[in-house]
Copies of this chain bind each other. A is one copy, B any other.
Amino acid sequence: MTTVPEWTFEFHGHRCPFMPLGYRMGLLAMRELGVEKEKDHGFFVIPELGVGHPQTCLLDGIQAATGATYGKSLMERTFWGKLAATFYHPEKGAVRISLRPEFQDEFGKNEFFAYRMKGVEPSKIPADVADASLAWTDTQPDEKVFKIERKPDYQFKRVKGSFNKVKCSQCGEYVFERYARLVNNELRCIPCSGY
């Protein structure tokens, strides 16, 4: 059980059960691996979620709990459409945590989802209904909710970094070198390159 900090709801924008569930998933991963919330750029989350499906709000909770944020380039989806994520630390290894199918089935019975299936946006769902789904989630023990798998052979290659940039010969804006493209012997940004 976890009560998430109030600011995480402010970040997320609405009160739904999935953001806190992601927060809890993040805490669990950190405990499993023995790492602290990431201040800088040393802890990576590779979620198996995609787009165009519900419950991606998990990721905002994971960002908030772990500090492995999208903005710090520490989180990137695989687009596999699964409610799972692998957490990787170069010195501590990797762990995959997924939401058990049986839990997802139980979870789906919450009235909150009946509203969502009808297309009601989370912030428009009656507060007592949303709160009930949050309270129900909080009472579910970790072992019923999460499947935890150590991934001793997990391979993760960090992207090579560089501070170098050039000005695009067309628009005059800066572009970081990795993304500069050559057109008629001139360096351009991708939108100006036509590629």
Contact = CB atoms under 8 A, between A and B. Distances in A.
Interface in A1-16: 5, 7-8, 10-14
Interface in A78-132: 78-84, 98, 101, 104, 116-117, 121-124
Interface in A33-64: 37-42, 48, 50-54, 56-64
A39 B14 contact: yes
Nearest to A15: B39
A178 interface: yes
B178 A50 contact: yes
Interface in A57-80: 57-64, 67, 69-73, 75-76, 78-80
A136 interface: no
Interface residues on chain A, size class: 35 or more
B50 A81 contact: no
B175 A81 contact: yes
Given A7-B7, A13-B67, A81 B39 contact: no
Nearest to A71: B60
B14 A11 contact: no
A31 to B, nearest CB: 18
Contacts of A73: 51-52, 56
Contacts of A67: 11-13
